[in-house]
Amino acid sequence: MAAAPGKTCGSCTLCCSVLEIAELKKPAGPRCPNCVSGAGCSIYAERPQVCRDFECEWLMSRDLSRQFRPDLIGTILMEDPDSEEYRAVCAPEKAMAWRNPRIFAHLVAVAKSGRLVVAKAGLMSWRVFASGQWGPTV
C-alpha cells in the first residue's frame, strides 16, 4: 500500500528502534545498527521483508495530521497483523507518550469504533477502553 498523499518517513526512524526485527536479531528498544540518524536505513535496498512490509498508521492515514508523526510524538501508531490490535508503541525514552491528551483521545476514539487498543512501552502494556479508562494488560 502506498503512503497517504504528501506523507513520507523523511527523517523519522522511530520504527527502527521501538520495534523488534527478528530477522536482524534486533530487540525492541535499541536503534537498529543499520539505522543512520536523520538519514534512514543504510541497507534499505536489502532490508528484511518485515521492514519492507511495515506501515505505520501515520504514514498510511489521510486522517492523522503532522502532529501525529511518530518522531514528534514518541509513539508509533500501528495495526498489529498478528493480533488485530491497534497499538501505540512508545519510544523507550517516552514510555508514557501514549498518555498525551491528543494521542489518548485518538486511542479512545479507535476503541469506541470497536477495536482492541493496546499501548506498549518496553515490556509494559495497557488496554485502552472506549470509556476512556485504561489498565494494565494481563
Would you state the pLDDT for residue 1? 66
Structure confidence at residue 10 (pLDDT): 84
Residue 39 phi, psi dihedral angles, 5° rounding: -120, -20
Q: What is the mean pLDDT, run by run of 10 residues, along the chain of 138 residues? A: 84 90 90 87 91 92 94 94 90 94 97 96 93 93
Domain extents in the chain: 15-136
Q: Which pLDDT does position 26 carry in this prediction?
A: 92
